[in-house]
Structure 1
Amino acid sequence: MTAVSAFPITPASPDGTVDLVALRRLVATLVTAKVDSIGLLGSTGSYPYLARTERQRALDVALDEAGGAVPVLVGVGALRTDEAVRLAQDARAAGAAAGLLAPVSYTPLTDDEVFEHFATVARESGLPLCIYDNPGTTHFTFSPELIGRLSQLDGIVAVKCPAPAPESVAGHVRNLRGIVRDAFSLGYSGDWNAVEALLAGGEVWYSVVAGLFPATAMTLVDAVRQGDADEARRLNTRLAPLWTLFKSFSSLRVMYAAADLMGLCRAEPPRPILPLSIEAKRQVAETLRELDLI
């Protein structure tokens, strides 16, 4: 089944204290839209910038607001394996459905190091894990062979891959499906290429845009579910101006600006990331108005 996992920002003060009222408001919007899952504390949720205690506070509020109606998967990535274990244990104890684990690193990691990292977190936490392949932030790229090895481990249940270019995505899906175990979920991020990944057989869209505009994402995915590829591609093409902003300024900065423009929260990205300039924010506002998103 094709599904949408919506990734909201995590509003916080300059000292890294999560704004629980604003976060609850964001999560409530996703629950109302009936997204298939909520991806809390992903890259859009600024997980590396938050202390363990703040991650716990954010997760508790998200789970409370979701009320069991929508599964919550939560980022548990950390530089150290033991810290990632503790974060995953926290998530399991709180009631998260799964953990999203990225191989966060300073020293470049080898495949064997990443394999052991994942195996340890899965074994010692008991939390189902989704492999988070995000080379743009971790500077580590999962080979298909490594994903295949990890998929054989108990507790490694899914992967979130950056969606390849449209001409390559069908081969990517086919290759992975041939080496992972049955029932292992193949999901994709990179909003601008996600439609082609879903049409090619990807099962989950791990979506930035759904974190603020869930109805828009759900409409697009509904077209895929109904087998209407032309409509899905039309809707995706319509969003091209937003995808251009994501590529130009980063989706993180654009989503913070959008949340501010929508009056959902007044938070800024965690430093040293700076908010968009006045001119860039004007471009975001114009684009969102043109797309009838605000």
Structure 2
Amino acid sequence: MTLFTGLSAFPITPANQSGRVDTDALRTLISRLAGSGIDSIGLLGSTGTYMYLSRDERARAIESAIAEAAGRVPVIAGIGALRTDDAIALAGDAKALGAAAGLLAPVSYTLLSENEVFEHFAAVAGESGLPIVIYDNPGTTHFRFTSELIARLARLPGIVAAKNPTVTPDDSPAHLATLRAQVPPGFSVGYSGDWNCVEALIAGADAWYSVLAGMFPTVCVNLARTAREDSVEARRLNAALTPVWDLMRQHTGLRVIYALAERLGIRAEPPRPILPLAERVKQQVLDTFDALSETLDQSGVI
């Protein structure tokens, strides 16, 4: 598999409430992922709380993750920032530390226009020299990429892939077909939103950018591979994970995964003002994952 195909696993970034990354805990997560059969690690994504970390702490996270991955699996690092010059600097840091690519979202306070987003991406890709994955995450940025904008960006040197959100399972094949018709050959079209991604994979999407894989890679590796070979079995496995998808939709993947981290011996809470799940809900999460232990193939972790 090439870098921008297959399964990309997105772990949390354990840190204390002062924003200091717990590199030992992060390396524990990366070690689990690197030997699992995934195709890349999506470090410092939204689940990795990149926007809550300083430039120095992001660099510490990238350095630790790449050292632990030790060439076994490439690392794509989140480089989003409010200011273009800051995103360029973060991309430069990621490249210098050995990241294979940067994941760039149009982070904003003031709503951005399509032209502003185009110029932002062009500057980061052009000035950093780091391959860039377009990160379309309207739930956090409040900006939604049109297929026309992605097609414009895909023709810029250094912009190599897109990580698209999924709205519903039924919408993904049509969205994929529309993008395929507009982007250059070889440009990678991938999807996030774990609960909807199986249909995108069955339709031929290049990549699945997965939150669940950041904690439970084995079941996601199996699902991603099965979607290429046996759509009936892939849909059956995806349906078996419905209780997990329901929890992630209701409480966000970030909060659900943080609730499970302690089972790996990782004591971490999301950065304030994000609050951990209430104990009642946390117990519901734990009970749900316990009931699915065989499906998740958790190797005794839960």
SS of residue matched to 1:33: coil
Following the alignment from structure 2 to structure 1, what is the Cα–Cα distance between the partners of residues 176 and 38? 23
How far does the alpha carbon of each residue in 1:76-107 deviate from its partner, in whole angstroms, 9 at most, with x for none?
00000000000000011111000000000000
Match of 2:94 in 1: 91
**Residues 51-62 of structure 1 correspond to what in structure 2 (within 5 A)?**
51-62=54-65
Q: Which amino acid aligns with 2:251?
A: F
Q: CA deviation at 1:32?
A: 1.3
**1:122 corresponding residue in structure 2:** 125
**1:138-172 Cα shifts (integer Å, max 9, x gaps):** 00000000000000000000000002312221111
**8 Å contact from structure 1 (residues 25, 264) kept in 2:** no
Distance 2:112 2:230 in 1: 42
Q: Give the total of aligned pairs.
A: 292
2:161 aligned with 1:190: no
Q: Structure 1 counterpart of 2:288, which letter?
A: T
- For 2:243, which of 241, 244, 267 is the aligned residue? 241
Q: Which residue of 2 aligns with 1:18?
A: 21
Structure 1, 230-239 or 164-173: larger mean CA deviation: 164-173
Indicate the residue corresponding to 2:286 in structure 1: 285
1:263 to partner: Cα distance: 3.1
The CA deviation string for residues 204-248 of structure 1, in whole angstroms up to 9 with x for no partner, is 0000000000001011112123x2001111110000001100011
Within-5 A mapping of 1:101-120: 101-120=104-123
Per-residue deviation, 1:176: 0.0
TM-score, structure 2 as length reference: 0.95
1:15-40 per-residue CA deviation (whole Å, 9 max, x = no partner) reads 00000000000000001102100000
What does residue range 70-219 of structure 1 map to in structure 2 within 5 Å? 70-219=73-222
Partner of 1:256: 258
Between the aligned partners of 2:265 and 2:224, the Cα distance in structure 1 is 25
Deviation string for 1:105-131 (max 9, x for gaps)?
Answer: 000000000000000000000000000
Do structure 1's residue 6 and structure 2's residue 9 form an aligned pair? yes
Q: Is the 8 A contact 2:35 2:72 kept in 1?
A: no
One-letter amino acid matched to 1:195: V
CA distance in 1, matches of 2:29, 2:265: 7
Stretches of structure 2 lacking an aligned partner (at least 5 in a row) = 297-301
Counterparts of 1:268 and 1:130 in 2: how far apart (Å)?
Answer: 28
- 1:229 is matched with 231
Quick one: distance in 1 between partners of 2:148 and 2:290? 44
The one-letter amino acid of 2:140's match is: T
Secondary structure at 1:34 match in 2: coil
Residues of 2 paired with 1:19 and 1:140: CA distance? 31
**Mapped contact 2:125–2:131 kept (Cα < 8 A):** yes
| Displacement of 1:186 | 0.3
Q: In the TM superposition, what whole-angstrom CA distance separates every residue of 1:59-85 from its partner, at most 9, and x where no partner exists?
A: 000000111110100000000000000
Q: How big is the alpha-carbon RMSD for the aligned residues of Structure 1 and Structure 2?
A: 0.8
Q: Return the alpha-carbon distance in structure 2 between the equivalents of residues 11 and 37 of structure 1.
A: 19
Contact 1:6 1:214 survives alignment (8 Å) = yes
For structure 1, the residue ranges without an aligned partner over 5 or more in a row are none
8 Å contact kept, 1:164–1:172: no
SS of residue matched to 1:231? helix
Post-superposition, which runs of at least 4 consecutive aligned residues in structure 1 deviate over 4 A? none
TM-score of the pair, normalised by structure 1: 0.98
Identity of aligned residues (%): 59
The answer to whether structure 1 residue 65 and structure 2 residue 59 are counterparts is no
> Are the aligned partners of 1:6 and 1:37 in contact in 2 as well (CA < 8 Å)?
yes
Partner Cα distance (1:186, 1:153) in 2: 15
Amino acid corresponding to residue 244 of structure 2 in structure 1: L
